[in-house]
Structure 1
Amino acid sequence: MIRPDQIKPDMPVVCSEDGQFATVDHMEGSNSIKLKKDEAGQHHFFPLSWVTSTEHGKVKVDRPGDKAMQEWSTVSPIL
């Protein structure tokens, strides 16, 4: 199980196919990862439960990048 303290700012986020699709901004609470703004100036969030590993200084998620980008949120789960 991945712990929130394993997720650090500026870590690359890679999909199940090893392609980078985002960069960590910071942990949002203990269960959500906030990503740095994209080219349109928008932050995105996804749950810690998507993370399969943090080896080699990368956050690896359990799905392809296209699917992750369809399913991430633009709203913080912490309100």
Structure 2
Amino acid sequence: MTDVSRIREHMEVIGADGVHVGTVDRVEGDHIKLTRKDSGEGSHKGHHHTVPLALVADIEGDRVRLSANADVAVTFEQEADRSA
């Protein structure tokens, strides 16, 4: 199992295919909270999203690699509370 305590702010989150998913804002509980700049378009723009830590496959330098390809990983994203 990967040591998720090594995940730090501003690390890039990539899918298993190497495609950019987001940028770490911080770890909250069992999720990685992504920065708002990676929040998508439309009604999702400007909101934080989170990715479950269970998807973390490895930490490679300043990148967090997920076990799912980017297009699949984003389907696991959740919109975080707007007050945060």
The answer, yes or no, to whether TM exceeds 0.5 is yes
Structure 1 position 47, deviation (Å) = 1.3
Distance 1:34 1:63 in 2: 17
Q: How many residues align?
A: 75
Unpaired runs of 5+ residues, structure 2, are none
Q: TM-score, normalised by structure 2?
A: 0.80
CA contact (8 A) 2:15 2:68 kept: yes
Q: TM-score, normalised by structure 1?
A: 0.84
Structure 1 position 67, deviation (Å) = 1.1
Structure 1 position 58, deviation (Å) = 0.3
Larger relative strand fraction: 2
**Is residue 2:60 matched to residue 1:66?**
no
Aligned to 1:32: 31
Partner SS state of residue 61, structure 2: helix
- Over the aligned positions, Cα root-mean-square deviation in angstroms equals 1.4
- Write the letter of the residue equivalent to 1:3: D
CA contact (8 A) 1:2 1:48 kept: no
Structure 1: 4+ residue segments shifted above 3 A: none
- The percent identity for this pair of structures is 29
Aligned to 2:13: 13
Unpaired runs of 5+ residues, structure 1, are none
Distance 1:23 1:10 in 2: 6
**Is residue 2:56 matched to residue 1:57?**
no
Summarize deviations over 1:9-39 as a string: whole Å, max 9, x none: 000001010111200000102x211110125
